[in-house]
Each structure stands twice: as C-alpha cells, then as structure tokens.
Structure 1
Amino acid sequence: MTAEIVTLGADAPTTADLVAIADGARVEIGPDARQAIEASRAVVEAAIADGLPVYGLNTRLGAGRDDRVGDDELLDYQRLVIANHRGGVGEALGERQVRALIAARLSGFTRGGAGVRIELAQAYADLLNANIHPVVPARGSVGAADLTHLAEVAAVLTGGGRAFIDGVVVPGEEALTAAGLEPIVLAPHEGLAVLSSNAYSVGAGALVLSALARRVDAWDSVVALTLEAVGSAGPAGNLTAFSAEIADARGGAGQRSSAGVIRAALLGSALAASDRSVTVQDPIAFRTVPQIHGALREALDHGVHEIDLEVAARSDNPLVDVGTGRMISGGNFQAIPLALALENIRLALAHVASASERRISALSGALTTARREGRTRVPGLLAYSAAAALAEVRQLAAPATLGVTTLSGVEDHASLAPLALQLLERSAALVDELAAIEALHAVDLLRVTDARPTGAGTGPIFAGVDEAVAAGIPAADLVPLVVATIR
C-alpha cells in the first residue's frame, strides 16, 4: 500500500487520482469540497421543506416517477431503494476495482451535484482509508448509472452487504466494527444519490486505460525485437518506415510516439548498418506498426479524456444545482461518450492483434526448417494459439453499446459502458498473449540464426524471454510468464 494522500478539493479529480486511490492512497476531503457538499445538501433540505415533487426525493423511481412518497416514509424509502438495487450477479470485482469505484462516487459527491451530507461523504472516505472492500458482483449495470455496483457499497456502509477483510468475506456490519466504524443511516434523497453515478465504468475504466497506456510501449519494443529477428534471417527489417521523417510527414502524435519507442529500442542495432543488404520494404504488418499502435495510443488518450471529464462532472440525476437552488431532472448519467471511447479502443486493439498475428505467422514460417530439424524450443502450434486469440479479439471488437433493451417504459436506452469495459479488459489480455507469443517466436528465430539483438532496448527483452524459455515449462505457463516479463 502506498502512503500517498489524495485530497479532494476545488480542483477536479483526475484519472491519475483514481488510480492512486485504487493503489492504496488515503483520501481526505478538503475544505473546498466540504463547502461544496454542504451547499448542495442545503438545496436538498430546501426542496424537502417546499414539498414540491422531485424525482427520487419524494417520488419513486423509474416507471413510478410520478408516485409520491409520504413524508413519514422518506427514511424507510432510502433503505428500500438500496435493497431493490442489489441485483448484481457474477464474480466479485477485485479490490483495486472496488476502491476505484468508491473513489469515483466520492469524487462525484465533492463536485456539488449530489446533495448528500458531509457525514455520508466522509463515510465513503473512511471506507477507503480502513481498506474495507465490499463484495461487488461484476454484472448488473447497463451503464445508465452503475446502480447494482453502487448499491453493494451502500449496503455495507449502512450495516448490510458483505465485505472482504484480508481476503475473507464477512458481513458488512462486522467489517465496519472491525475498523472502528459505525453504520450510517441514509437521509432523504441519499438512497438515490449514492447510486447516481457511472462510478464503476469511470473508476475501473481509469485502471484499464492507465495500464494499457503503459503496455503499448512494451508492445512497440516487442516489434523491435521481431525486426531484429527477421533481420537476422535475411534482408528483412527495413528501418526507414520508423524514421522521424515518415512520422512527421503524417504528423499523428500516436504514430510519432510508437515510432520513437521502436527507434529507441533499436538504437545501435545492426539493422541500421549502412552496408547491410535490406529489402526495399517489409510487409505492411511490419512497416505500419507506428500507424497501428499510434491509432491505439490516440484512442487511449481520448478514453482518458472522457474519464477525466466524467470524474469532473456533476452527473447526478436529479442534479442538485447550487447556483439556482434547484433540483433538476436530466440525463448526465448517460455515459455514451465514454462507452463509445471504450468501444473504439477495443477496435484499435483488434488491429494491433491482427498485425501481431501476421508477424507471428512470418516468424513461424522462418522457423519451419529448424523446427523440422528439432532445433526450435517454442512449440509450433503456439502460432495456432495466436490465431485463436486473434479470432476472439475480433469478436470482442463488435459493438457492445447497441445491445441495450428497454427496461421499463421510461428506462428505454442505456450505454452498456460496463460491458464495453469488461470486453476491453478481455481484449487487452488477449493482445498481451499475442505480444508474448510474438516475442517467443522472435527469440527462437534469433537463437536458430545464432544471433543476438544489438538494439539498446531489444537486448533486455531477449534476455528475459530467453530465460523464461530455458525454464522448459509448458506453453500454458510460459506465455503468462513472458507477458509479465515484457511488460
């Protein structure tokens, strides 16, 4: 656990803040944030006093939006709202994901649109700081606020639900007691307010996109190793396609970054020798990696932008608007911009996967003779596993956000951002596998040609992967080991 402290204040939280909290940073609510929370709660209290119909405050939810809740029912209604939304199923989210979603909802409170009491916001901070990890089933949200996920967090805070303590599942109240915390009783409007956020899609999305941004550098470096390998076996490995001149001619930031990483990895490589006999140009899956990986980089940048926008937004419904003193029904919970960004990243990953599989096929072909002679160490059918992974990545690239169905007469559209995110996680894992299989074939070819990579960045990758291969473990264990090695 990190000792870092993230203070939520007047400035909008960022993707980096969510990642830091997920990784164990403590959370503090700054004075400015406390003022914003208290001001928004004053608007709610005024609305209660006025008695005018406000969605979710003194009316029921969804199709029951025009049914009033009596003043004497308001407190009990909060409990019913939480209980009714605990419909999630499937495996429990991991600790980092749960911390990220709690952080995202707490961040939303500090933006002044939720109308909760400072006591409730502090309870969310206390949950994080006590490292209480509610059991949150992964499936249930359709991306019109992550209702089922957030209901499980609220259940623990109110003394129900279940939570992990040191990996053991215990009743929520027991988890609170162990941390010296008391269950909280939700005040009017808070039953809806704690649910009114795409906190899972935003929080867990921040983790996925941050990790992916780091992995693109590793995937670029694997391509550099592949170039060294094919260059050792013949005239392949023309480096002109990765030059600054080519990248600058188009001008894309992502292309420039990937081309730069590949050039840096190949600094000092024999591939750049002026007297080397080299093909005029390599196949497209080799020479357009900066464009392909660059497109992924730019898609990731856009995804992070959308997450930063969501973290800074007041997405609550109804929106508590301090400026006008009103509670306004709206649709800022509709996370289509974020969902589409996640969809686009999956599509970009499919192109990365497709090019990797083609390079694996070329490497495998170059190893054919050595394989027949028993001089290879990597199973030939790893290339089949690569083809299977590619087929799955292509399937996962299909649109997820168009799968929504009508849930009630008024809840007739949703973003399905959580599904888009979960498919993205699976896609990223499969591309990791493909990169590992590509690295394994490149190392095998370098061994067969009795060559060693001479690039500044390719040598360390070769050494790590070569050591993993030398362990003689089955492919099912070897590929995950190489994934960890090249990250």
Structure 2
Amino acid sequence: MTAERAAERAAERPVIELAGTAPSVADLVALANGAAVTLSPETLATLAASRAVVDDAIATGAPVYGLNRRLGAGRDAAIDPSELADFQRRTIANHRGGIGEALSEREVRAVVAARLIGFTRGGSGVRPELAQAYAALLDAGVHPVIPSRGSVGAADLTHLAEVAAVVTGDGRAIGASGAVVSGSVALAAAGLEPIALAPHEGLAVLSSNAYSIGVGALAVTDARHLAEAADRSVALSLEAIGAAGPAGNLSAYSAVVADARGGTGQQASSAAIRAALDGSALERPGREVTVQDPLAFRTAPQLHGALREAIARTTAELETELAARTDNPLVDIATGRMVSGGNFQALPLALAFESLRLVLAHVASAAERRAAAHSVALAPARAAGYTRVPGLLLYSAAAAVAELRQLAGPVTLGITTLSGVEDHASLAPVALQLLQRSLDLTGEVVAIEALHATDLLRTSGAVPTGVGTAPLFAELDALTASGIPANELVPAARVALASRA
C-alpha cells in the first residue's frame, strides 16, 4: 500500500496511536472494530532499542532461548548460525497446529492488535519494520484465517502462528471477495510485501497471549452491555408484576439499600433500574404493594452488581496484560539483557474468565425464575389464546440455565502439555471460549425474561410509563406482534435490549 493510500484510509476512520502509555480495553476494541493504527515516534524508538538488545546478544553469542538455542525440550541445543533463517520459518510452521472453526474477522483484528500492542511495550525485541507490518495488516484489512482451538494459554501459539504465516507470505487469509486465499495473494491485493523474519522473531511473534487478551477484550465489552440489558429487563419485569397484581416493590432498588451494603456494582445496578423506572406507575404514592417480592426480583441489584464487579476485575486484568511485557525471553532495555521467564502464564486473566462465567450462571438463573413467574401469571391468558409468546419458550430458558451451570465449572485445572518442560498451562483460551458461550446463553435467557414481561404487560392491559421501560416495551411488543418464530424472536429481542446500551 502506498503512503498516500494509507493516509487516505486513516482519514476515513478513527485512529488509535500506540505511544508510550499502555492502551486500554476500549482502544483494543476500537482496533477490532476497524480503527486505524499508528505507531508514535516514541514507540518506534522503543522498538529499535529493544531490537538492539537482541542484536547485541547475537554479537556476543551468549546462550539465549529461541535466539541461538532451540525451543522446548531442545532448549540447550545450539542453533548453527547458518540455520537461523530456516529456523524462523520452521518455528512458524511447527506451531500452525490449530483446528476448529475460524475466528471472525473482528476477533482476528483483536488478536493482531493485541500482538502489535505487545510488540510496542518493548519486551519482544522485534524490528520496527515487523511491528509496522502487523499495523499494515490491520490498516489494509488483511485478515488471516485463524482456527479457534489449539492454544492452552502458555502463549497463544497456534493462533499467532497463523498471523505470522500471513505476514511472511504464507498461510491463508480472507480476500476482498470474502473467499479464502493464500497469504501472499492477500498481501499482494492489499499492496503489501511479505517480510522475512530476523533471528529471534520466529519466537517473538508467538510469545504472547494475544488471543486471550484480544478476544477477551471483546467478550468483556459484550458482558458490560449484557449487564446493562439485564438491568433493563428487570425494570420491565417489575412493571409487569406491578401491572398484574400488588407486586413490584421498589424499596429493594433504593439508594438506601444499595448504599447500606456499599458495593459499587450493586449501586450502579440499582441506579440503572431506578432510572429506567423513572415516571413509572410503580412510583405512584399509596399504591397497594406487597412488602417484598420474591428473591429473584428483590436481589437483582446484588446479582447484577456481582456481574458488574466481575466485569471490572476482568477489565483490570486485561489492562494489566496490555501494559505488560510478557515475552519469553524478555528483552529488558534498561539492563540490555534477554532474560528467560514465565510472564506468559496468564492465570490471573484465566481466573477472571472463570469467575465471570460463574456470575453469569447466577444472573441467568434468576432471570429464568422471573420469566417462570411471568409464565405462571400468563396461564389464564394463554388458556384463552391471548398470549403471543410461546409457552414453551420458558423451556428454552431452562435448558440454557442447565448448560450455564455446567459451563460455570473450572476448566483451568486441566491437562498438562509436553513432557517435563511445558508441564503446566493456564488454559485461558478454553476459559474464554466457555465464557463466550455463557454470554450468548445468558443473553438469550435475559431476552426471554423481557419477552414474557412484555406479554404479561400487554395481557394485563398496561402500558409502561417508565422513561426506560416504555420505549423498550413498545419495541418488544411490536416484535411479539410480528408473528416471527421463537428462533428469530429471541435474537431480535436481544438486539432491542442492547440498542439502549
């Protein structure tokens, strides 16, 4: 790609500059969503200084893992200098062991962006031109085909090998037509040239948990939107039970209750539910109401608060990783050394994924119970043929909760890998993939709750007046009136809930 065309593309979309300050999860998500990327002069200087440490190690001949010594069990075997170029190619080829469905283009961009961010932290020892080649992939929209499974979380080796293969003119990528083409064809179509890896770069491009970080950033963003949607669904449920009888007591959502416990997540959830119900009939003075609703309703702020706090913890772990130098060997500019270590052990991040799955199971379980309460209240209308939501849609919610309970179990205490060297791994990518499934299932259950609440409101002859619940009801009521089947209705309801995120 010419410099002129690159400038034109950058002008057409947001630009994320990678400079001295560590990027945020939001920056990474922006890159995954199509933002352009630039490397600041400061970053290019850091890359050059990091590479100079590698060049010094080559010159001195000091033994360094993956530079002049082999990998894995062969870590103490020397590499003949004449083999160095071929060693880089073999390293990439040997790590292309991923299988399964390919990542989406958005996920691929997240992976490439996360690895590029890692380069810029100064611990990788790659040349500035290699980092710029990764930036060019993002800006040109060249998306390597990356199989989803293969990494065990001791660096996402199989995922990153596919990116490196394309950068070097091998591998496979999605062409402009949407078809799979060779890496060399994809690069040529984008006006890019393949790059040959220098000594150490064959390992450096792989030495990162870029899949877990990149796709994890997308997942935690989805989780944040889901938490907001879940609060809106609860608000609609309160409107529904209040319209159907003397229920919907708002005391459990008051600032007094939230502040008495003090959890930031609960406070945020309570405030969001109260905001959605502002102007609702539930606020009418003197309204006949039960002294307290069932726990699935009354403790929603605590449950959703736990979700919000788990999201905050996961975001913090992701941003720790984005700021870190996790390469092995670690290039340390300050001391001019290459140091073997284990910063690629991403257990804190993996455990955050595990915790988030467990919280989602609790949130979905309560949402299913609220949907079940609505279904019971709808029984007379259903018997008379007045309902629009299929009665057995509740079964789909129950099945989803059963699966979520299984998904909530720990996966990180899994198998070891190779012999006596790579003998422990975090399994963060597996924890992440189970999290993605949990997010999808929880989103379905929350949507099913909102659909049941909508049907109960309609059959009760009530129209919500809350500032947030009124427009949500109108949109969901139109969906239920459209007659689309449940398999289309639930995804559409998820969109309606998310549109106010």
Please tell me the TM-score bracket, short chain as reference.
over 0.9
Residue from 185, 192, 196 that aligns with 1:174: 185
Once the two structures are superposed, the pairs formed by residues 374-393 of structure 1 within 5 Å of their partners are: 374-393=385-404
Measure how far apart 1:179 and its partner are. 1.0
Shift of 1:17: 1.1
Alignment map for 1:24-423 (pairs within 5 Å): 24-166=34-176, 167-423=178-434
How far is the alpha carbon of 1:368 from its aligned partner?
Answer: 1.1
- Three-state SS of the structure 1 residue aligned to 2:151 is coil
* Moved >4 Å (runs of 4+): none
Provide Cα deviations, 1:113-170, integer angstroms capped at 9, x if missing partner: 0000111111001111110000000000000100000000000011100000232111
What amino acid is aligned across from residue 266 of structure 1 in structure 2? L
1:430 to 441, 464, 483: 441
- Is this contact kept in 2: 1:40–1:112, CA < 8 A? yes
Report how far residue 404 of structure 1 moved: 2.7
| C-alpha distance in structure 2 between counterparts of 1:486 and 1:81, whole Å | 46
Tell me the alpha carbon deviations over residues 160-192 of structure 1, each in whole angstroms, 9 at most, x when there is no partner: 000002321110000111111111000000000
Contact persistence 1:142–1:404 (CA under 8 A): no
CA contact (8 A) 2:173 2:183 kept: yes
SS in 2 for 1:403: coil
CA distance in 2, matches of 1:392, 1:453: 33
Query: In 1, are the aligned partners of 2:381 and 2:387 still within 8 Å (CA)?
Result: yes
1:463-484 per-residue CA deviation (whole Å, 9 max, x = no partner) reads: 1111111110111111111111
Q: CA deviation at 1:272?
A: 1.4
Letter in 1 for 2:458: R
Q: Which moved more, 1:147-156 or 1:400-409?
A: 400-409
Identical-residue share of aligned pairs (%): 66
- CA deviations 1:335-356 (Å, max 9, x no partner) are 0000000111101101101100
Q: Which amino acid aligns with 2:346?
A: A
From 453, 458, 465, the equivalent of 1:447 is 458
1:461 matched to 2:441? The reply is no
Distance 1:388 1:215 in 2: 19
Q: 1:210 deviation in Å?
A: 1.3
**Partner amino acid, structure 2, of 1:306:** E
8 Å CA contact 1:5, 1:28 repeated in 2 = yes
Q: Distance in 2 between matches of 1:118 and 1:336?
A: 30
- Matched residues in 1 for 2:402 and 2:390: separation? 20
Contact 1:364–1:380 (8 Å) recurs in 2 = yes
Structure 1 residue 111 displacement after superposition? 0.7
Scaled by the length of structure 1, the TM-score of the pair is 0.99
Residue 443 of structure 2 aligns with an amino acid whose one-letter code is D
One of 3, 17, 42 as aligned partner of 1:7 = 17
The amino acid across from 2:375 in the alignment is: S
Q: What is the CA–CA distance in structure 2 between the aligned matches of 1:317 and 1:13, rounded to whole Å?
A: 21
Q: Indicate the residue corresponding to 2:26 in structure 1.
A: 16
Provide the rounded CA distance (Å) in 2 between the counterparts of 1:240 and 1:78: 64
Q: Give the counterpart letter for 1:205 in structure 2.
A: G
Deviations 1:316-359 (A, max 9, x none): 00000111111000000000000000111101101101100110
- TM-score w.r.t. structure 2 length? 0.96
- How far apart in 2 are the matches of 1:324 and 1:330? 15
Rounded to whole Å, the distance in 1 between the matches of 2:254 and 2:373 is: 23
The DSSP-based 3-state class of the residue aligned with 1:262 is: helix
**Is the CA contact (8 Å cut-off) linking 1:247 and 1:256 kept in structure 2?**
yes
- Aligned partners of 1:369, 1:468: CA distance in 2, in Å? 22
Quote the Cα distance in structure 1 between the aligned partners of 2:399 and 2:240: 24
2:16 and 2:365 mapped to 1: Cα distance? 40
- Describe the superposition over 1:32-84 as per-residue Cα deviations: whole angstroms up to 9, x where unpaired: 11111101101101111111211111111111111111111111100000000
8 Å CA contact 1:338, 1:417 repeated in 2: yes
Structure 1 residue 405: Cα displacement: 2.2
What is the alpha-carbon distance in structure 1 between the residues aligned to residue 18 and residue 187 of structure 2?
A: 23
Does the Cα contact within 8 Å between 1:57 and 1:189 map onto a contact in 2?
A: yes
Write the letter of the residue equivalent to 1:345.
Answer: L
Measure, in 2, the Cα distance between the counterparts of 1:104 and 1:449.
51
| Secondary structure in 1 matching 2:413 | helix
Question: How far off its partner does 1:400 sit?
Answer: 1.2
Unaligned runs of 5+ in 1: none
Whole-Å separation in 2 of the counterparts to 1:216 and 1:271: 23
CA contact (8 A) 1:404 1:415 kept: no
1:380 Cα shift?
A: 0.7
How far apart are residue 236 of structure 1 and its match? Answer: 1.0
Q: Contact conserved, 2:277 with 2:469, CA < 8 A, in 1?
A: yes
Pairwise CA RMSD: 0.9
The CA deviation string for residues 301-324 of structure 1, in whole angstroms up to 9 with x for no partner, is: 010100011011000000001111
Q: Residue 251 of structure 1: CA displacement?
A: 0.6
CA distance in 1, matches of 2:25, 2:485: 38
TM-fit CA distance, 1:398: 0.7
Number of equivalences: 487
Letter in 1 for 2:436: E
